[in-house]
Amino acid sequence: MGAVTTKLVNFASIHEDSTREQAERASRMPFIHPHIALMPDAHLGKGATVGSVIPTLGAIIPAAVGVDIGCGMMAVQTQYSAADLPLDRAGEVHAAISRAVPLSAGKYNHDVHSDSTAERIGELESLDGVDQANAIAPNWRLQLGSLGSGNHFIEISLDEDERVWLFLHSGSRGVGNRLAQKHIKIAQQQCAKRWIVLPDPDLAYLVEGDPEFWSYMQALRWAQRFAYLNREEMMTRVVDCFADWVGGALERVQEVNCHHNYTERERHMGKDVWLSRKGAIDAHEGVMGLIPGSMGDLSYVVRGKGHRGALCSSPHGAGRNHSRSAAKKLFTRADLDERMTGIAWGESDAFLDEHPQAYKPIDVVMHDAQDLVEVVHTLRQIVNVKGD
């Protein structure tokens, strides 16, 4: 840990100057308390740095949550071990998951998938914020249970004792993105109306007490719940595909479902703040969390240590080291094939921008996070499903 300024604390040993400068700009906003914590996986984001924890008093910056509201991970430990798996038929379960869960940007369900899907939709229909969702993305019900693209994934993994885990990463999909974009624009309009000069337009904020603030909070909470249920819905389908593959029922030995793009009301350094974790997970003492590595790399099930300087947070993953366009120029399909040896995956040039070396080394990120979390399980992939 190192204090960059009185308002910025850095836990990252690898970061570009531009990343630090972006975090410093955000830390100078007048309502930051006590400081911004820069996580080990920090990299440039929209307005606020991805991999930063931003506590605010009396205001909230919509872009400090990000456009994939509620994005996060879910993992389920099963009763199975590697010896129970028909690994010579791993391609079958990859194909089954790819059919059961809509993959890639803009891909949704054609109808309500099951009774459990309908129950989750019913919960979302009962929540404040659904009117905003209906207005901005009327097809949100068909988005529930879809993965998306980019670094979102579904994996079957083995832990250090060869026990089988199901692991996935996704968020609030198109509906969350549209809600976020709407309220980022409203925040910019509100700041312009007040003649507020911002160091970055995407640091525009909403003032607590204004109707616009509470409208955003309503949409934010709805989208966070959508993202959580979206992961549950996908996991239900993955469990079914896995059970068919192994020829037996699946017991959920333990499970973890956590956000890493979200805002909660928390108390830090003597004050109640709006704490926005943008690419960071809750790491209060004893809280279980998930930190995935990049495609073909290790992932971790962790337990929080409650580090006050980190605002009881930890990194959410490896963090990008190269942009997607740069990665496509830097890496070859042969590189990716080699890194994915022994893993059933999509085998497509479309995933070059997800090459493991496009991300920070996960072992360095975890070393930097050793005061923030303890590693409970280390996972390695045997099946990786992604959208292009």
Please indicate, yes or no, whether the overall pTM of this predicted structure exceeds 0.85.
Answer: yes
- 346 contacts 90 by C-beta, under 8 angstroms: no
Q: Give me 126's structure tokens.
A: 């009962």
- Residue 29 pLDDT > 90: yes
pLDDT for 347 equals 86
pLDDT for 191 equals 97
The band of 316, judged by pLDDT with boundaries at 50, 70 and 90, is: very high
* SS3 call for 113: coil
Question: Strand (E) positions, 240-337?
Answer: 254-259, 261-268, 271-278, 280-282, 288-291, 299-304, 313-315
> Sheet of 288-291: strands edge to edge?
254-259, 72-81, 163-170, 153-158, 373-385, 299-304, 288-291
Residue 157's nearest CA partner among 314, 296, 60 is 296
How far is Cα 137 from Cα 129, in angstroms, rounded to an integer? 12
Displacement of CA 63 from its chain's centroid (Å)? 15
- Residue 383 pLDDT > 90: yes
Q: Tell me what the mean pLDDT of segment 260-275 comes to.
A: 97
pLDDT above 90 covers what percent of the chain? 81
The predicted-structure confidence for 171-229, as pLDDT tens digits, reads as follows 999 999 999 999 999 999 999 999 999 999 999 999 999 999 999 999 999 999 999 99
Evaluated on CA atoms 112, 224, 176, 128, the torsion sign reads positive
Of 19-23, 149-153, 345-349, highest mean pLDDT: 19-23
Residue 289: beta bridge partners?
Answer: 302
The predicted-structure confidence for 298-307, as pLDDT tens digits, reads as follows 999 999 999 9
- 212 contacts 92 by C-beta, under 8 angstroms: no
Least confident of 104-108, 150-154, 245-249, 252-256: 104-108
Displacement of CA 339 from its chain's centroid (Å)? 23
Domains and CATH numbers, the chain: 2-385 (3.90.1860.10)
How far is Cα 44 from Cα 285, in angstroms, rounded to an integer? 28
How far is Cα 98 from Cα 227, in angstroms, rounded to an integer? 19
Evaluated on CA atoms 42, 43, 48, 51, the torsion sign reads negative
pLDDT above 70 covers what percent of the chain? 99
Residue 169: beta bridge partners?
Answer: 73, 153
Tokens 């080699």 locate to: 338
Q: Which residues are catalytic?
A: 316
| Count of CB atoms situated within 10 Å of the CB of 180 | 24
Residues, the chain: 388
- Residue 387 pLDDT > 70: yes
**Average pLDDT in the chain:** 94
- Residue 63 pLDDT > 80: yes
The predicted-structure confidence for 160-183, as pLDDT tens digits, reads as follows 999 999 999 999 999 999 999 999
Phi-psi region of 64 (alpha: psi -120 to 50; beta: other; left: phi over 0): alpha
- Residue 348 pLDDT > 90: no
The band of 1, judged by pLDDT with boundaries at 50, 70 and 90, is: low
Helix (H) or strand (E) holding 110: none
Read off the DSSP letter of residue 58.
S
The predicted-structure confidence for 94-134, as pLDDT tens digits, reads as follows 999 999 999 988 889 888 878 889 999 999 999 999 999 99
How far is Cα 234 from Cα 100, in angstroms, rounded to an integer? 8
- 134 contacts 125 by C-beta, under 8 angstroms: no
How far is Cα 291 from Cα 294, in angstroms, rounded to an integer? 10
